[in-house]
Amino acid sequence: MSDIRKITSALISVYFKENLDKIVTSLDKLGVKIYSTGGTREFIKNLGVKVTSVEDITSYPSILGGRVKTLHPEVFGGILARREQETDLLQLDEYNIPVIDLVIVDLYPFEETLSSGADEQSIIEKIDIGGISLIRAAAKNYSDVIIVSSRTQYNELLELLEEKDGTTTLEDRKKFAAKAFSVSSHYDTAIFKYFNSGQQLLQFRESHLHGSSLRYGENPHQKGIFYGDLELVFEKLHGKEISYNNLLDIDAAINLLADFKETTFAILKHNNPCGAASRGKLIDAWKDALAGDTVSAFGGILITNEEVDEVTAEEINKLFFEVILARKYSPKALEILKQKKNRIILIQKETDYPLFSYRSLLNGVIYQERDLKIETNADLEVITKISPSEKEKTDLLFANKIVKHSKSNCIVLVKDKQLLASGVGQTSRVDALKQAIEKAGNFGFDLSGAVMASDAFFPFADSVEIVRQAGIKSVIQPGGSIRDKDSIEYCDKHGMSMVFTGTRHFRH
């Protein structure tokens, strides 16, 4: 038997009716018998198209306030019947069940209702029962039935009806079935996450309906795909295709700048801040951020929490960089920055981000809450005889934000709200410190009056000893080592101040 199927009958029952009229009109022209329910039936009638009520098939009205409309053997029998099995067809004849070749159904807007802040009863009422059952039934029987499970598929169906004169191939139906199970599984995932919001069940579910193929993954020999909706995060104004590595850097940049309220500019490379400064004017923030590491900034990612003006754009344009993110750009600034055709220019949007993060690991997934802790003056416990000055406290908190967003082991050196240097991704904390001090020296920075931040405690006093010799006299760290006393005593002996935050900020 051929895998070609002619659509002779359709069941249509949808919540969203936008653009449905073209589908209905096309089906009517093809002589397709249409069955429908409630508001959809009235919509079709108002188009002047003949439609049969589902209640006429089942002999049962819609009951329980609309909770039960299509859940009936005389509906599902017509969908699930296997056209190549004679026994199925005989049973359809025996019980006078009409065959249904096309099912168009969508689902109640559960996620939209949830995000609107509706009360629990309203949310529960948007858990679809009939629609999800119809989708699964029609998709299961894709050998004979075509299922349209979302209004986003209307155009594709319309093209199919017009190009193939109301016929479908097995390939057509299987493709729509795959989309249907994508819709149903995503819907069920959202419902599960609502009921399991407190993590009562240690089970992992995540679903994204949008996917974008990338040029490649982390390296050219690796395939890369982004799952999610980037249009909610930023608007792309200019430049080449965004890569896998660009996205990693963009994510790191957005997370970093989220911790800053002052006018701030930051430069990132391989997910680590290599330059950052907060200033009253954007141009000064840019110049001091760049001064922190003019070498690493080459080919980096730039981000600011302000509008980029013409003066700042002129300076930025002197540097080769991959991506820039900002809240806005003046028309003249945009004109300047667009001079490089491959340069990626993005406007960052306000959006909500997940409160958790996860990554594949071994044969599963590792999951954690995101590190959203931002230390303030209230979190600083002075554990030395000398207290840091107000200026030093400001720099300590600035440095702590930078170290939080840098790869461990990490040491950060800051003065006057400017990142002077950092040592990142080292297996030894002492090596990270030595790297930072050497780097600061290479760029001509005087570390007298600077402060140091560490993402984790000092297991020995060697770090505070080395940093004192470099001219730094104020330190911020989580504390928590069994040998904290050694570092405290060294600081007290040499007139240094040190504060504990009680919060470690490892990042791997």
Marked catalytic residue, from 270, 287, 332, 391: 270
Marked catalytic residue, from 140, 175, 186, 391: 140
State the Rg of the chain over Cα.
31
Q: 67: burial class by Cβ within 10 Å (0-12, 13-18, 19+)?
A: exposed
Pairs from 369-373 (Cβ < 8 Å, separation ≥ 24): 371/404, 371/505, 371/507, 373/404, 373/503, 373/505
E strands, 158-287, in order? 167-168, 211-213, 225-227, 234-238, 264-269, 272-278
Omega into 409 within 30° of 0, i.e. cis?
A: yes
Give the Cα-Cα-Cα angle 148, 152, 153 (nearest 5 degrees): 35
Q: 257: burial class by Cβ within 10 Å (0-12, 13-18, 19+)?
A: buried
* 140 part of the active site: yes
**Nearest to 141, CA basis, from 190, 216, 77, 54:** 77
**Nearest to 241, CA basis, from 144, 143, 322, 347:** 322
Give the count of beta carbons closer than 10 Å to the beta carbon of residue 115: 10
Token readout for 349 is 């949007």
Residue 289 dihedral angles phi and psi, to the nearest 5°:
-65, -45
Q: Provide the b/e sequence for 433-464 (b: ≥16 CB within 10 Å).
A: bbbbbebbeeeebebeebbbbbbbbbeebebb
* 270 part of the active site: yes
Pairs from 479-488 (Cβ < 8 Å, separation ≥ 24): 479/381, 479/383, 480/504, 481/457, 483/458, 483/459, 484/383, 484/457, 484/458, 486/460, 486/461, 487/458, 487/460, 487/461, 487/463, 488/383, 488/384
**Nearest to 14, CA basis, from 33, 32, 34, 41:** 41
Residue 167 pairs in a beta bridge with 6
**Nearest to 20, CA basis, from 150, 138, 143:** 150
Give the Cα-Cα-Cα angle 164, 166, 172 (nearest 5 degrees): 65
Say how far residue 317 (Cα) sits from the centre of its chain: 30
Q: Please give the positions annotated as active site.
A: 140, 270
